[in-house]
Amino acid sequence: MSYTIALNFEDGVTRFIGCKDGETVLDAAYRQKVNLPMDCSDGVCGTCKGHCEQGDFDLGDEYIDEALSDEEAAEGQVLTCQMVPSSDCVIQVPVASTLCKTAVGRVEGTVAMVEPLSEDSIELVVDLDEEEGLAFLPGQYIHIDVPGSEEHRSYSFSSLPGEQRASFLIRNIPGGVMSGYLTERAAVGDRLALTGPMGSFYLREITRPVLMLAGGTGLAPFLSMLEQLVQKGCDAPIHLIYGVNKDDHLVKTDALDGFAEALPSFTYSTVVVDEASDHPRKGYVTHHMDAEVMHDGDIDVYLCGPPPMVDAVLKHFDAEGIVPQSFHYEKFTPNQIPGEAA
Ligand code: FES
Question: Residue 65: which CATH number?
Answer: 3.10.20.30
Report how far residue 45's alpha carbon sits from residue 17's, in angstroms, rounded to the nearest whole number: 24
Answer with the one of 39, 68, 100 that is the final residue of a domain. Answer: 100
At 319-337, the pLDDT tens digits run: 999 999 999 998 776 554 3
HSE-up of residue 274 (Cα within 13 Å, Cβ side) = 12
Do 84 and 130 lie in one domain? The reply is no
Residue 135: closest CA among 109, 107, 113, 170: 107
For ligand 1, what atom is nearest to the CA of residue 80? 2
Cβ contacts of 22 within 8 Å, gap of 6 or more: 84
Mutate to test the pocket of ligand 1, among 52, 77, 79 (most ligand atoms within 8 A of CB): 79
Q: Is 204 inside a domain boundary? A: no
Residue 186's contacts (CB-CB under 8 Å, 6 or more residues apart) are: 111, 114, 124, 147
pLDDT at 334: 55
Does the residue 49 lie in any domain? yes
Q: Distance, CA 243 to ligand 1 centroid (Å)?
A: 47
Check whether 58 has a pLDDT greater than 50: yes
- For range 240-260, the mean pLDDT: 97
Q: Are residues 221 and 281 in the same domain?
A: yes
CA distance 142 to 150: 16
Q: Please, what is the average pLDDT of the chain?
A: 93
CATH number of the domain within which 269 lies: 3.40.50.80
Among residues 73, 100, 127, which one ends one of the domains?
A: 100
Same structural domain for residues 194 and 238?
Answer: no
| Domain final residue pick, 150, 165, 198 | 198
Distance (angstroms) between ligand 1 centre and the Cα of 279 equals 58
Ligand 1 atom index nearest CA of 41? 3
- Ligand 1 atom closest to Cα of residue 43: 4
CATH number for 143:
2.40.30.10
Are 231 and 184 members of one domain?
Answer: no
The residues with which 23 forms a beta bridge, in sequence order, are none
Task: Quote the ligand 1 centre to 28 CA distance (angstroms).
Answer: 15
User: Do 110 and 94 sit in the same domain of this protein?
Assistant: no
Q: Domain check: are 215 and 185 in the same one?
A: no
177 and 261 in a single domain? The answer is no
223 plus 317 within the same structural domain: yes
The answer to whether residue 336 sits within a structural domain is no
Q: Distance between CA 316 and CA 334 in Å, rounded?
A: 24
Residues 125 and 222 in one domain: no
pLDDT tens, position by position, 24-44: 999 999 999 999 999 999 999
Residues above pLDDT 70, as percent of the chain: 97
How many angstroms separate the alpha carbon of residue 26 from the centre of ligand 1? 9
CA 27 – ligand 1 centroid, Å: 12
C-alpha to C-alpha distance for 317 and 19, rounded to whole angstroms: 41
Q: Examine residue 205 and state whether it is found in any structural domain, yes or no.
A: no
Residues 293 and 228 both lie in one domain: yes
pLDDT digits (tens, 9 = 90+) for 180-230: 999 999 999 999 999 989 888 999 989 999 999 999 999 999 999 999 999
In a domain, 342, yes or no: no
Domain count, the chain: 3
Tell whether the model's pLDDT for residue 338 goes beyond 70. Answer: no
The Cα 298–Cα 300 span in angstroms is 7
Q: Which of 36, 69, 81 to mutate to test the pocket of ligand 1 (most atoms within 8 A of CB)?
A: 81
Q: How far is CA 77 from CA 19, 44, 87, 223, 328, in A?
A: 19, 15, 17, 30, 20
Let me know whether 239 and 148 are in one domain.
no
Residue 83 Cα to ligand 1 middle (Å): 10
Structural domain boundaries, residue 236: 210-331
- Substitution candidate for ligand 1 out of 24, 27, 30, 45 with most atoms within 8 A of CB: 45
Atom 4, ligand 1: which residue's CA is nearest? Answer: 43
Could you tell me the distance, in angstroms and rounded to a whole number, from the CA of residue 35 to the centre of ligand 1?
13
Rounded Cα gap, residues 280 and 170, in angstroms = 26
* One domain for residues 78 and 132: no
- Which amino acids bring their CB within 6 angstroms of ligand 1? 38-41, 43-48, 67, 79, 81
> Of all atoms in ligand 1, which is nearest to the CA of residue 37?
3
Determine the distance separating the centroid of ligand 1 and the alpha carbon of 80, expressed in angstroms: 7
